[in-house]
Amino acid sequence: MHAILDEGLICHLSFVIDGEPAVLPTLYARVAGRLYLHGSTGSRPLLAALSDDGLPVSVAVTIIDGLVLARSAFHHSVNYRSVIAHGRANLVREPVEREAALAAIVDRVAPGRWADCRPPSPQELAATAVLQLQLAEVSAKVRTGGVIDEPADLALPYWAGVIPISTVRERPVPDRDLAAGLPLPPYLAAQ
């Protein structure tokens, strides 16, 4: 489960407001047995729903690995790896823990980046909400492998197979104001 959490780029965070379901995409990082969730734009309702003893949430991280095209419509499927965590998320109030969580979130999307950017000022740190969720109630689902068709369908004249899907990081595009001669750092070039 940790491997899936450490590969996904975003999670979908679900919570309840006034009895109604809500869902938000957001950045996250795993640190040991905890998930840290970035309080992104759009999370104002989430933060408003947070009480002192936290907020029940359900968090999903899903990685799509392939489309499985069977001869029969019924056996079409998707290869995927998914983790769902349930629990009570709490606002991280301690600035030191919040900064460590933000470092983990930045390094999650670009390992090595935190050490190579300007750290947050106290004001910036105060303006960034981070939630913490203990990974206690966690389940994983994985579908892998090839097509599974009914034996009677194997001779049907339909192509069958798997279309692998991957998430690709393309060549970095430098900011137009980048100081001349500032090279792409090795931790970005290696991807």
Q: Which of residues 111-150 bind its own copies (CB under 8 A)?
A: 113-114, 116-121, 124, 127-128, 141, 146-147, 149
Q: Quote the CA–CA distance of 180 and 164 in Å, as a whole number.
A: 39
Q: Quote the CA–CA distance of 43 and 131 in Å, as a whole number.
A: 11
| Residue from the set 3, 6, 7, 25 that interacts with its own copies by CB under 8 A | 25
- Residues 72-101 binding its own copies (CB under 8 A) are 72-74, 76, 78, 80, 82, 84, 86
Q: Quote the CA–CA distance of 115 and 59 in Å, as a whole number.
A: 28
Residue 161 found at the interface with its own copies (CB under 8 A): yes
Q: Give min distance, CB of 174 to its own copies, in A.
A: 4
Residue 47 found at the interface with its own copies (CB under 8 A): no
Q: Give min distance, CB of 157 to its own copies, in A.
A: 7
Of residues 15 and 30, the one with the C-beta less far from its own copies: 15
Helix (H) or strand (E) holding 102: helix 95-109
Classify 44 as helix, strand or coil: helix
- Residues 170-189 binding its own copies (CB under 8 A) are 170-179, 182-185, 188
Q: Give min distance, CB of 140 to its own copies, in A.
A: 11
Q: Give min distance, CB of 76 to its own copies, in A.
A: 6
Q: Quote the CA–CA distance of 132 and 152 in Å, as a whole number.
A: 51
Residue 48 found at the interface with its own copies (CB under 8 A): no
User: 18 and 26 in contact (C-beta within 8 Å)?
Assistant: no
Q: How many residues bind its own copies (CB under 8 A)?
A: 90
Helix (H) or strand (E) holding 97: helix 95-109
Q: Quote the CA–CA distance of 124 and 138 in Å, as a whole number.
A: 32
Q: Give min distance, CB of 5 to its own copies, in A.
A: 14
26 closest CA partner among 42, 50, 48, 15: 42
